[in-house]
Amino acid sequence: KQEVTQIPAALSVPEGENLVLNCSFTDSAIYNLQWFRQDPGKGLTSLLLIQSSQREQTSGRLNASLDKSSGRSTLYIAASQPGDSATYLCAVSRGNQFYFGTGTSLTVIP
Amino acid sequence: SAVISQKPSRDICQRGTSLTIQCQVDSQVTMMFWYRQQPGQSLTLIATANQGSEATYESGFVIDKFPISRPNLTFSTLTVSNMSPEDSSIYLCSVEPGQGNGYTFGSGTRLTVV
């Protein structure tokens, strides 16, 4: 069974700092990897989707990479802002099944 | 990508009652997924709903507790039946990925059972 792990579980950084969130998965036979943001008590907002044939995707200050062979993905956030404070989840999918990591809770301090 | 309207956004319910959560999609989709997120935990898939057939439930979830309807290709409901405080969670619906669009989620329903 696919297991998805996110490290660190929580992260606190000063505003303006660049940061990296990590996601690892045990089964490299995936179709897609997706990064989401979740604000307290709310649903999920999709940030970036990386298909299995891709290595990275970029959107604004966000860059996500995927290394299937090592079972890892990273989400890079440049010039962090207080509005980036949220929980970040990665999810891997294969067919109709997909699996979520436990998330990284990010706090950006003004 | 698809846009999902989910309601209610939150509710506080009495023990023993039932709550029905609705998800409306702005385009036709074959499969819809229902998830639960218990406090402090990640998402857990409850069931997959296909139009015209019975939902497929994951281990640990049963139809009597979480009946699902899928009357057409744009709408689905999840009912949380005979609720107990342990059912207090965020419930989310999701739709199958389009071509290169990734999964889309509803805004979630925050349920508190007292």
β-strand partners of B13:
B113
Handedness of CA B68, B101, B27, B3 (dihedral sign): positive
CA distance A74 to B38: 25
Burial label, B3 (beta-carbon count in 10 A; 0-12, 13-18, 19+): exposed
Tens digit of pLDDT at every position of chain B (114 positions): 678 899 999 999 999 999 999 999 998 998 899 999 888 787 888 999 988 889 999 999 999 999 999 999 999 999 999 999 999 999 999 997 665 667 888 989 999 999
Question: pLDDT at position B97, please?
Answer: 61
Question: pLDDT at position A96, please?
Answer: 63
Question: pLDDT at position B103, please?
Answer: 82
Q: What is the mean pLDDT of each run of 10 residues along chain A (110 residues)?
A: 90 97 91 88 85 92 95 97 96 79 95
Give the type of residue at A52.
S
Contact B105/A100, CB-based, under 8 Å?
A: no
Backbone φ and ψ for B51, nearest 5 degrees, come out as -70, 130
Residues of A in contact with B1 (CB under 8 A): 46
Contact B43/A49, CB-based, under 8 Å?
A: no
Q: Quote the DSSP letter at residue B54.
A: P
CA distance A87 to B9: 19
Residue ranges of chain A whose CB lies within 8 Å of a chain B CB: 32, 34, 36, 41-46, 49, 51, 89, 91, 93, 96-98, 100-103
Question: pLDDT at position B87, please?
Answer: 97
Contact A101/B96, CB-based, under 8 Å?
A: no
Residues of B in contact with A46 (CB under 8 A): 1, 102-105
Min Cα distance B104 → chain A (Å) is 7
Question: pLDDT at position B53, please?
Answer: 85
Nearest CA in chain A to B94: A44
Question: pLDDT at position B7, please?
Answer: 95
Give the type of residue at A80.
S
For A100, the closest of B43, B102, B107 (CB atoms) is: B43
Nearest-CA neighbor of A101 among A61, A74, A65?
Answer: A74
The answer to whether the beta carbons of residues B109 and B91 sit under 8 Å apart is yes
The answer to whether the beta carbons of residues A49 and A34 sit under 8 Å apart is yes
Question: pLDDT at position B99, please?
Answer: 59
Residues of B in contact with A45 (CB under 8 A): 105
Question: pLDDT at position A67, please?
Answer: 94
- Tell me the DSSP string of A17-55: --EEEEEEES----SEEEEEEE-TT--EEEEEEEETT-S
Nearest CA in chain A to B10: A41
Q: Quote the DSSP letter at residue B86.
A: G
